[in-house]
Amino acid sequence: MARIVKRIDSLVPRRAASYGGKARGLAALARGGFPVPRAYAIAGDCFVAHCDAHLPRDARPHVLLRQPQPSPERLEEYAAAVREAPLDPALLGELRETFRWLRRDGAQSVAVRSSSTAEDGSDQSGAGLHATVLHVESEDALADAVRACWASFYGPAAQSYLRKTGFEEAAVGVVVQAMVPADIAGVLFTVNPLSGDAGEVVIDAAYGLGSAVVDGSVSPDTLRIDKASGLPRDRIIGGKAIRRVAEHGEVVEHEVAEADRERLALSETQVDLLFQLALRIEKHFGGPRDVEWAFRGDQLFLLQSRPVTAALQPATKRWQKRRDVDREKIVWSNVNVGEALPGVATPLTWSILSRFSELGFRRAFGSLGCTVPKDAELVGNFRGRIYLNLSEFMGILTQVPGLRPKMILALGGGGEVDRLEEEVESQSSWGFLRRLPLTVARFARENLALTERLEEWEEAFALERTRLGQVDPRILPAPALAKMLEDVERLLDESGSIMLTVYGNVLASAVLLTTALRVVAGSSAEALQRELLTGIADLDSAAPGIALWHIAEAAREESAAREAILEGDASLLRVEDLPEGRTRRSLGRFLEAYGHRGTREAEIMEPRWREDPTLLFATLQAHLRREGGPRPLDLERSQRAQRERAEQDLRDRVPAPFRPAFRHLLVQVQRFMRLRERLRGYVTEVLGFYRTVALDASRRVELREPDAGQGAAFYLTESELHQALRADLSVAIRVRQRRRQHERDLGLPEPPDTFVGYPPPVPEPIPTTGAMRGLAASSGKATGRARLLHTAADAAAFEAGEILVCGSADVGWAPLFLVAGGVVTDLGGPLSHASIVLREYGVPAVVNTKVGTRRIRDGDRILVDADRGEVRILERAPE
């Protein structure tokens, strides 16, 4: 008679559907010669027979899934019946025999894993829905563990998943596997599961059993390895605070020694072994895989392998070997892009904006007439932060005759200029020159119709904005909320299409202006360009700050409103706390117009001004505490006069025949910069709609899976969010893992703004003396007390005239610029959004200091010399 419990390597995967996805994956690994522990499998037919024998007809698997889902209480009754019913004597006898064989082969205990016929498929994962029992040490405990795996079929999450994914029949197979008492264990992905990058292997590792990594109980080391070269893209040392081990009949946790936490758990040899196995596994299975692994000493075991499913994976191209690129020489920087998306991004934000950015840069280069290699890696994620591949950028831009890295970095910021000048190989300009007539014709054609196209689009956007704004997501069924998410995606694509056209024009025209100014102005070209781009009227990003100034002026004339604002806590005040009157009405209209904006507004998880108006009330308080100060109209006149002087200077330098061309080019740059700021506001509104969907999706996930916690949707990628809404997938384990990774990235020292290869494992020392050098964003000098701002709540203590010091001057800080004596940032470039606003306000500012927030302390008296791009500490505040 055929055996019931079969050796895993005796299963033929394509004929083993009844044994479940986990068993099939292990069988394929074993038959492929991969190092798997000794294991046996039980078909799901045994589970079905057990249920048929001991449960009422309505509770049997083939009947239950065709009916409405029972209550959690009723499901628990069924699960209890499965756990308490005796096993079939023949199965029990073979289980006992299997246990003895495994012990005889050296296993101290066994791991018992559910292997559902509805999990680990190419389209659905179902990971984490069914039970796993570790460290089983006796024959009786093995029988109990098998029944526990079967009973997990009746868990509410498993039942919801099976119904939503359309399964009308499902069964639970079981894998009985020799327990590996791991020294180090974890998971690896042969594709980045967050970004969808098929060109890298991602390894998570921690001490002890891998279950601590899988269920998110530990912050693991993370290694990202480039497939083409085998070199690391990043190495992050995780906290690894606990080590989960099997001892004395149970799984327990021990603290990890501090010295072991501060080093990588894996050796170089072990990393290379995992990497080589990852490539072999992906080739063997013909697609990306998610693999659980464990090291016992130097011996590696693969415990599980499943497809990286379409349900939980962004769309990605099949990996192919890239051009010969020495990853150890790539220069990465977030100097400019870090202003748009400062700090650590959540997975949802990263999945949306990385795709958006990649497309945008390709279009921008195309508008210049440059070709971009299909395999170009333009954007990277390091420790949750977005970085640009400057080596790739500069290599592409060398197609433009005479354009060198030094010129581009002067516009956008960034370091390693000498390295880029020396190592970036200039590409042939022949193609660029050959396409130049077409490029110019396309540029002219697009811009001739741009105004009309923009007007049509804004009209359509206004209608869609109104429609989406009237939707209450709380009353929508899940498929309708998923449809709303599709509508928001489409709106971002449409907004992005026109915005990226403008961004490409900004880049093209700014590069041409910079080149021309260098010819006629030499060493003073940078300062001249800065002043030529001052005083751009009707700048959308500057409007909120000016509107708040007017609201503050109204509050001065309303004593009750003035008192309520000044005496209130900025972090607690709301519009409804103000007395009826002009100030309250004006602030209400302000939030209607600009409430979608906020600090770190590109991060979808961050609240908007309408949700948290702390910065707005802090700004109003600073205005009201300040006596006098420049009026917006005076500022506008002053900045316009400065621009007009620069234009006269330019006319004096340019020969008469070329003046019309210079004038036209300058007008175009100003026009495109104005449009860029206008469109940035629209894109921010769309990100706000993403937030609306994510907040309600998070509420639904938390109701269904309390273990996922609040804000679960922000820890899913865009495609995962779709699947969670449409299929009601269980996501708690994935969310916990991502949340812990996000918290770990937040706790890591900020990587350098520019680095070569991958970030150093420890922060680089910073100079403690001398001036801090940066890039001048807005001319002038200012002396005052420094105020470091990290969050909107920090703004409550800000006093008018203080120097605002922050990591990056996101546009969300702009209302505070008008009351600041000056601004200093670690990141940013002269053409960034915040720099444009600072020039409109006439606030002296130095960006890209790299170390400002680390060297300057609250209360230090500092000098901001924006004309020279320097910041000096004049007097230290007492510690």
In angstroms, how far is CA 4 from the centroid of its own chain? Answer: 47
- pLDDT tens digits, one per residue of 632-657: 777 778 888 888 888 898 888 888 88
pLDDT greater than 90 at residue 117:
no
**What is the predicted pLDDT for the residue at 431?**
66
Q: How much is the average pLDDT of 581-610? A: 93
Question: If pLDDT is split at 50, 70 and 90, which confidence band does 311 have?
Answer: very low
Q: Could you tell me the pLDDT band of residue 427, with boundaries at 50, 70 and 90?
A: low
Residue % of the chain over a pLDDT of 70: 88
Alpha-carbon span 700 to 735, nearest angstrom: 14
Nearest Cα to Cα of residue 416 among 330, 493, 488: 330
DSSP letter, residue 17 = G
Confidence tier at 125 by pLDDT (50, 70, 90):
very low
Report CA 448 to chain centroid distance, whole Å.
Answer: 37
Which of the pair, 711 or 166, is modelled with greater confidence? 711
Give the mean model confidence (pLDDT) for residues 53-63. 89
CB 189 within 8 A of CB 292: no
Whether the Cβ atoms of residue 777 and residue 830 lie closer than 8 Å to each other: yes
Residue-wise pLDDT tens digits, 220-255: 889 999 888 888 888 888 888 899 988 877 888 999
User: For the segment 486-516, what is each residue's pLDDT rounded down to a tens digit?
Assistant: 999 999 888 877 777 777 777 777 777 877 8
- Taking the alpha carbons of 681, 682, 683, 685 in that order, is the dihedral positive or negative? positive
Write the DSSP assignment of 693-751 as a string of letters.
Answer: HHHHHHHHHHHH-GGG-TTGGGGS-HHHHHHHHHH----HHHHHHHHHHHHHHHHSPPP
| pLDDT at 127 (0 to 100) | 55
User: What is the band of 870 on the pLDDT scale with cuts at 50, 70, 90?
Assistant: very high
Lowest average pLDDT, out of 100-104, 182-186, 663-667, 807-811, goes to: 807-811
Place of tokens 């559910």: 114
**CB-side exposure of 776: number of CA atoms within 13 Å?**
24
Nearest-CA neighbor of 293 among 27, 34, 102, 101? 34
Q: Where are the alpha helices (DSSP H) in 756-851?
A: 814-817, 833-841
**Band of residue 353 on the pLDDT scale cut at 50, 70, 90:** confident
- Rounded to the nearest 10°, the torsion over CA 751, 752, 756, 759 is -20
Q: Which residues pair with 772 in a beta bridge?
A: 871
- Report which residue type is found at 425: E
Return d(Cα 341, Cα 334) in angstroms, integer: 9
DSSP conformation letters of 87-139:
PPHHHHHHHHHHHHHHHHTT-SSEEEEEEETTSS-SS---TTSS-EEEEE-SH
Phi-psi region of 757 (alpha: psi -120 to 50; beta: other; left: phi over 0): left
Structure tokens at 55: 């449960």
Tell me how far apart the alpha carbons of residues 568 and 562 are, in angstroms, rounded to a whole number: 10
- Which is nearest to 438 in space by CA: 360, 371, 372? 371
pLDDT at residue 124 greater than cutoff 60: no
Strand pairing report for 775-778 and 845-847: antiparallel
Contact 822, 859 (CB under 8 A): no
> Phi then psi for 591, rounded to 5 degrees?
-70, -30
pLDDT band at 418 (very low <50, low <70, confident <90, very high): low
According to the model, what pLDDT value does residue 425 have?
64
Residue 694, pLDDT > 90, answer: yes
Nearest alpha-carbon partner for 530 in 512, 510, 503, 545: 510
Give me the DSSP letters along 638-687.
Answer: HHHHHHHHHHHHHHHHS-GGGHHHHHHHHHHHHHHHHHHHHHHHHHHHHH
**Phi/psi at 48 (nearest 5 deg)?**
-60, -45
Average the pLDDT over each of 312-326, 458-472, 767-781, 783-797 and give the range with the smallest value. 312-326
CA 709 to CA 30: how far, in whole Å?
Answer: 38
What pLDDT score was predicted for residue 592?
A: 93
- The pLDDT of residue 123 is 42
Closest among 768, 735, 764, 738 to 751, alpha carbons compared: 764
User: pLDDT band at residue 444, thresholds of 50, 70 and 90?
Assistant: low
3-state secondary structure of 297: coil
Q: From the CA atom positions of the chain, what is the Rg in Å?
A: 31
Tell which wins on pLDDT, 84 or 707: 84
Per-residue pLDDT band at 483 (split at 50, 70, 90): very high
Give, in degrees to the nearest 5, the angle at Cα 700 between 695 and 703: 125
Range in 258-267, 725-734, 747-756 the model is least confident about: 725-734
Q: Three-state SS for 85?
A: coil
CA distance 348 to 246: 36
pLDDT of residue 336: 66
Please state the separation of Cα 459 from the chain's center in Å. Answer: 31
Beta-strand pair 110-116/172-178:
antiparallel
Instruction: Return the exposure string of 162-178: e unless at least 16 CB atoms fall within 10 Å of the residue's CB, then b.
Output: bbbbebeebbbbbbbbb
| Alpha carbon distance 695, 475 (integer Å) | 13
**Low-confidence winner among 28-37, 124-133, 389-398, 865-874 (lowest mean pLDDT):** 124-133
pLDDT for 35? 93
In the predicted model, is pLDDT for residue 728 greater than 70? no
Taking residues 660-664, report their average pLDDT: 86
- For residue 763, the model assigns a pLDDT of 64
Residue 530 confidence (pLDDT) above 60: yes
In whole numbers, what is the pLDDT of the chain averaged over residues? 84
DSSP 514-568: HHHHHHHHGGGHHHHHHHHTS--TT-GGGHHHHHHHHHHHHHHT-HHHHHHHHHS
Q: Which residue has the tokens 């020694």?
A: 257
Please check whether residue 847 is in contact with residue 414, taking contact to mean a CB–CB distance below 8 angstroms: no
The answer to whether the Cα torsion of 417, 418, 420, 425 is positive or negative is positive
Secondary structure E strands in 754-809: 754-756, 772-773, 775-778, 781-788, 803-806
Mean per-residue pLDDT, 453-458: 86
Q: Is the pLDDT of residue 126 over 60?
A: no
- Answer yes or no: are the C-beta atoms of 395 and 326 closer than 8 Å: no
Q: Is a pLDDT exceeding 90 seen at residue 864?
A: yes
Q: Which of 332, 317, 326 is nearest to 229 (CA)?
A: 326
